[in-house]
Amino acid sequence: MNFLKLFKRQIQVARVFGIPVRIDYRWFLIFALSAWVIAESFEQGTIKTQRVQVGALTAWVAGIATTFGLFLSIFGHELSHALVASAEGIESEEIVLHPFGGLTRLKREPDNPRAEFRIAIAGPSASFLIGLVALVGFYAASLLNLRTLAAALSIVGFWNFVIAASNLLPGYPLDGGRVLRAYLWHFFLFDAARAVTGGGRRRGRGLRTVGEAMTAPVVVEPDTLVSHFVDNVLSVHRQEAVAVARARRLHGILTLSDLKQLPRESWHRTRVSEVMRPVASDLFVDPSTPLARAEKLMSENGAGALAVINAAGELVGFLLRGSLKRRVKVKA
């Protein structure tokens, strides 16, 4: 168990433009596997772009160098996000390289759709340019009969094109999903963009009970890392509190006000269960509860939110004090 926890930890390996660059220990395992697979391809002569077959030592050097080039490409992808964000006046908290990708954690969200689009598109654009440069290098090395170098560049170029294309798929948390959100934000206001990506809210008239006013809950599991919540949940669902549950059983409520008390450097090693407000009688109601009662509870419980639990003890809805006020105003 301790061995597994070790491989989930992260270490800082550099600081670029003042931004900490971290990797987790699993990165070393994937790096070694990748270098071995590529070295075998060089030694066996199975790389399709070049008829090259080299000795074991040269194969390993080529495998390590090619793998290092691939991981540098991923870093370049993430660094481009950070640099464009900086140009938009947004600082980056850190860059994290995972075994199969990376992420750039920004200190705040973009203020407008233009900034959102530029930051999102920067990563795929960088990967495409790196792939293009590698492709030009591949042709140059081929003309000079540097077949081992040409084969390595062909691998780096191919995978950068794959990274660029896959990141443009229109789904969160991929860059393509953020590009889509920027488009919707620009043409239909941010509420419309949030609705399409799962954050829309049902409006009604004459709301009297919690069951009539509640929305579908945004749920995060207790064992989720805070960093994962911030990067993959909060980036899509911008709200002050979310339900913490597993298998529809409520464990507590996580509020942004409580989350702000946790140092950012601890996000990647802290579980949601360590930060949430544990389930208590003032954090949930049943669907038949009058709205007046629910509003009073939300104003007193410190969370500004309530989970809605049915008779079977299952989480069926969620209420946020701020959203309820906006809906009452719209109704009036």
Q: What is the pLDDT of residues 35-65, one digit of tens each?
A: 999 999 888 878 777 777 888 899 999 999 9
Residue 83 is predicted with a pLDDT of 92
Which one of 180, 211, 236 terminates a domain? 180
Look at residue 146 and tell me if it is in a domain: yes
* Residue 332: pLDDT over 60: no
Q: Is 191 among the domain residues?
A: no
Are residues 166 and 212 both part of a single domain?
A: no
Other C-beta atoms closer than 10 Å to the C-beta of 18 total: 9
Same domain, yes or no: 11 and 131 = yes
Residue predicted with more confidence, 179 or 67: 67
Which of 125, 148, 180 corresponds to the end of one domain? Answer: 180
| 260 and 151 assigned to the same domain | no
- On whether residue 186 sits in a domain, the answer given is no
- 152 shares its domain with 208: no
211 and 105 part of one domain: no
Q: Which of 27, 115, 127 is nearest to 76 (CA)?
A: 127
Q: Are residues 109 and 155 in the same domain?
A: yes
| For range 240-248, the mean pLDDT | 90
- Tell me if 169 is assigned to some domain: yes
Residues 35 and 128 in one domain: yes
Same domain assignment for residues 208 and 155: no
Q: Which of 40, 43, 78, 94 is catalytic?
A: 78
| 289 belongs to a structural domain | yes
Let me know whether 251 and 312 are in one domain: yes
What does the pLDDT read at residue 171?
67
Structure tokens at 284: 């949930």
> Looking at residue 200, what is its pLDDT?
44
pLDDT computed for residue 186 by the predictor: 65
Tell me which residue range forms the domain holding 238: 203-331
For residues 128 and 207, membership in a common domain is answered with: no
More confident residue, 207 or 233: 233
| Arithmetic mean of pLDDT, 244-259 | 91
Q: What is the C-alpha radius of gyration for the chain, rounded to an integer number of angstroms? A: 24
Separation between Cα atoms, residue 322 and residue 201, nearest integer Å: 12
176 and 210 both lie in a single domain: no
9 phi and psi, to 5 degrees? -80, 160
Q: What percent of the chain has pLDDT over 90?
A: 33
Q: Is there a domain that residue 293 lies in?
A: yes
Which is more confidently placed, 332 or 44? 44
Taking only the tens place, the pLDDT of each residue in 118-153 is 988 999 999 999 999 999 999 999 999 898 999 999
Task: Determine the average pLDDT of the residues in 294-303.
Answer: 89
- For the question of residue 116 being annotated catalytic, the response is no
Residue 316 lies in a domain: yes
User: Looking at beta carbons, which pairs linking 152-155 to residues 24 or more positions away fall under 8 Å?
Assistant: 152/62, 152/65, 152/66, 152/69, 154/47, 154/49, 154/50, 155/38, 155/47, 155/49, 155/66, 155/70
Domain total of the chain? 2
Q: Is residue 198 part of a domain?
A: no
CATH at residue 326 = 3.10.580.10
Same domain for 217 and 130: no
Predicted pLDDT of residue 232: 79
Q: Considering 128, 147, 180, which residue would you say is the last residue of a domain? A: 180
Q: Is the pLDDT of residue 222 over 80?
A: yes
